[in-house]
Every structure is written in C-alpha cells, then in structure tokens.
Amino acid sequence: MQARKKLLLLCLSALLGSEDNIQLDVTDGDSSFSPADGLYTMLGNRTDEDNEQVDFILLYDNDGTLRSEILIKSYRACSILFDSNFMYYSTSADEIAVMNRTGRIVDLYSMGDYQLHHDYIFGSENDLFVLASREGGETEEDIILSVDRSDGTVTELIDLADLFGSYLKSLPAGSGEDEPLDWMHINSIRLIDDDSIIISSRETSTIIKIDDIYGEPTVDYMIGSEQFWAESGYDSLLLEQTGDFSLHVGQHCVEYETSDTLADGQYYLYFYNNNNAVCSSRDYDYSADASYSGTYSGTEGETSYYYKYLVDENARTFELVEQIPVTYSGYVSSVQKLGSSLLIDSGSAFTAVELDDSNTPIQTLVGTGDTWWYRVFKYDYSGFWFA
C-alpha cells in the first residue's frame, strides 16, 4: 500500500516588532562543542515600570534566527517559570500571566497596590515570590510579595525597611525627595531550603541571605564591603572574605548551586558581576574602598565578569573560585547554567556568549535594540506549543 502524504501549510502573521530583530550576528568560538538545545530567550527591552510601550519576548534558534515573538503589554517579562503544565511570565509591571501547554492564557495574577520588577520565582508553599515596589511609597524596589498560585492572593512577605531600618534612616535627607528612594534596588531572588532566600542588592553591591521568610524574617548574612557597611550596625552580618580579589559591584542574577562534593553548610553562588561602582542613594567613594580594584562607573567600561563564590556558612566565609571576563555591561545582564555549558548575557552590549565546560566560547550572539537585553536565558519549552 502506497504511503499517503499530507501537505501542511502554515500561514505566519506579520512581524510585530522591528525587522532588526529577525537575525542576530552569530560568531563561532573555538570550542568543538555544539550549543545546548533550546531557544535563546531575550527578555526585557524596556527599563521603566511605568512605560506603556508594547514589548516582546524574542525566541531565537541556535543559528540566531528569530522563531517567535511573544507579545506582552508593557515593561518587560523578567523571567519565564515552568512547572509540569504551565508557564508563568510577567506581561506588565502589574500582572503575571499563566499559560497552558497549548499557548492559552488561563489566569492572570494582578499585583494590586504593587508594581513588580526584576525577578520572581516559585516559593515553597504553592506561591510565587515577586520583587515589588509599593505604589505611592516613599521607597522602591524593596518589597518581596507572595502570590498564591491557587487564587492569586497577594501578600506582602518582606519589607526590607523592617530589616534594614537603621541603615535606611542613616541615608542623606532628600535622597528620595523628587521620586521614591531606590536605596536597596533588589534585582534577583533565589530560594534555599524552602524557608530562606538569597537576594541581590545592586544599590549596596551586597548579596543578602534572609531566613524564616514565612515567619519572622531575619538576616542571616551579607556578602559585601566592610568599609561600605562600617558602623552601620549591620557589619557583624558580613561573611569574611577568603583570598585576595576585587569584590563584586553592581551585580545581577545571583544563582544558587549545591554539590555532593561540598561539606555541609557549603554551596556556590554564581552571578554576573557588572563591575559597575555606582551608588545613587549616598555619596560613597568606591575608589577609596580597598575591597575594589579595576572597576568602572556607569555605562562605559571595558570588562565585566562571571563570578562564582564558595560560601561556607559554618566558617562564615566566602571565596572566589572562578571568574570569567566578558564584554562590559554596567547594568542588567544574566548568567545561566545549561548542563555542562554556561550562557552569559552582557545586556547593555546586546551580547550573549555560550561557553563549554572549559569556558571556551561555543558561539557569541550580538543583536540590537532600544535599550538592552535585560536577561538572556535558554529554554527547551518541552511540552509547550510544538515541542
């Protein structure tokens, strides 16, 4: 019996975004490895939470060719979260969408009296942790919300003003006179052991661990400059630096990693070290701080880094165990482990590089845009749409 053939005709809609997005410049590296499977996902091209411009999540194949635009209302999609049946992503500063496997939006979580920013993750009690600002507040980017995934109820989980009130009061008068005071600028959050979180504060160039997040939150430790925090009342919370290296400054996208080879109480934190020494809420001279060397200020610079710390909670220490120089990006940017490879996004340079397990470049992608690539992650989208 002769096999029957069917012709499938797919009619694509017109491109909604810029034609400049259709093809990235892709340069092969010296690695013999192939890029990891999946689609490069460019997240965020708008910087202002109050903007009303339509934006897109852009999906690219390993040849740098645009394969899909996911339309969002405004601001940016800060990340995409997956569980077995649903995909979660922000569609504006006011809401998070829940999409099923076929691409249908089945729920929308409103942030109510808050605006989300920078990051959100799954909590441990069928909820989402969302970084937020309180609308009309005197400060911004210092709230962590819990959003119930069953009914969308929004609960204020942590106000950093409650944990760092003395530091907030010590800041110069008028720091936030014309607009809300951005005194912490939290830009990433990760969950540890169901009831602790690691957050990244760009404004203080500090990585902070908070315990008992569902109960009575307390600061367990901080990783930052002793001079910056001197006489603040919080300096006793700083972990001790082991080894001679320049501290992170202006960092983004702090990730948590465990290993069977490590002792109890030890783990890794890896992240994008922007190497951008800027603090807008107080007059701090980074050039006079011995914790830093070879840093830059603002959008112009030569080198940012991938940093990986070994944290020992029992010894209360941290040390730099790996660093990789990358194209400078003073703001935004991301890192992601992809099995044995590593994806690093220098967002303000519209440059992403995928590295093999010896940190040799597999390929580099370069694009364009209105502002920057906030984050670049690679997802396989398994079980969703056509995958």
What ranges in 171-260 are assigned the alpha helix state H? 226-229
pLDDT score for 7: 77
Q: CA 98 to CA 106: how far, in whole Å?
A: 6
Residues 379-387, mean pLDDT to the nearest whole number: 87
Query: Residue 11: pLDDT above 80?
Result: no
Residues 206-210, mean pLDDT to the nearest whole number: 99
Return the exposure string of 137-157: e unless at least 16 CB atoms fall within 10 Å of the residue's CB, then b: bebbbbbbbbbebeebebeeb
Residues 136-163, mean pLDDT to the nearest whole number: 98
Mean pLDDT of the residues in the chain: 94
Going by pLDDT thresholds of 50, 70 and 90, the confidence category of residue 163 is: very high
Q: CA 165 to CA 144: how far, in whole Å?
A: 16
pLDDT score for 237: 99
Least confident of 14-23, 213-222, 282-291, 354-363: 14-23
Residues 33-38, mean pLDDT to the nearest whole number: 98
Nearest to 341 by CA among 362, 310, 364, 326: 362
Q: CA 80 to CA 379: how far, in whole Å?
A: 9
At the second CATH level, the architecture of 26-379 is 6 Propeller (2.120)
Residue that the structure tokens 């400078």 belong to: 328
Counting residues of the chain whose pLDDT is more than 70, the rounded percentage is 96
Residues 279-286, mean pLDDT to the nearest whole number: 96
Going by pLDDT thresholds of 50, 70 and 90, the confidence category of residue 349 is: very high
pLDDT score for 49: 55
Maximum C-alpha span of the chain? 86
Sign of the Cα pseudo-torsion (168, 169, 172, 173, in order): positive
pLDDT score for 185: 98
Going by pLDDT thresholds of 50, 70 and 90, the confidence category of residue 385 is: confident
pLDDT score for 2: 66
pLDDT score for 46: 60
Q: Kindly report, residue by residue over 330-343, the tens digit of the pLDDT.
A: 999 999 999 999 99
Q: CA 222 to CA 235: how far, in whole Å?
A: 8
- DSSP structure string for 129-155: EEEEEETT-SB-S-EEEEEETTT--EE
pLDDT score for 216: 98
Q: What's the DSSP call for residue 167?
A: H
Q: Kindly report, residue by residue over 173-207, the tens digit of the pLDDT.
A: 765 567 899 999 999 999 999 999 999 999 999 99
Q: CA 166 to CA 236: how far, in whole Å?
A: 14
The answer to whether the CB of 69 falls within 8 A of the CB of 16 is yes
Task: Tell me whether residue 357 is exposed, middle or buried, using C-beta atoms within 10 angstroms of its C-beta: 0 to 12, 13 to 18, 19 or more.
Answer: exposed
pLDDT score for 50: 60
Q: CA 199 to CA 157: how far, in whole Å?
A: 14
Q: CA 355 to CA 346: how far, in whole Å?
A: 14
Query: Residue 72: pLDDT above 70?
Result: yes
The answer to whether the CB of 360 falls within 8 A of the CB of 29 is yes
pLDDT score for 369: 80
Residues 334-359, mean pLDDT to the nearest whole number: 98
Q: What phi and psi values does residue 281 have, to the nearest 5 degrees?
A: -90, -10
Query: Residue 90: pLDDT above 70?
Result: yes
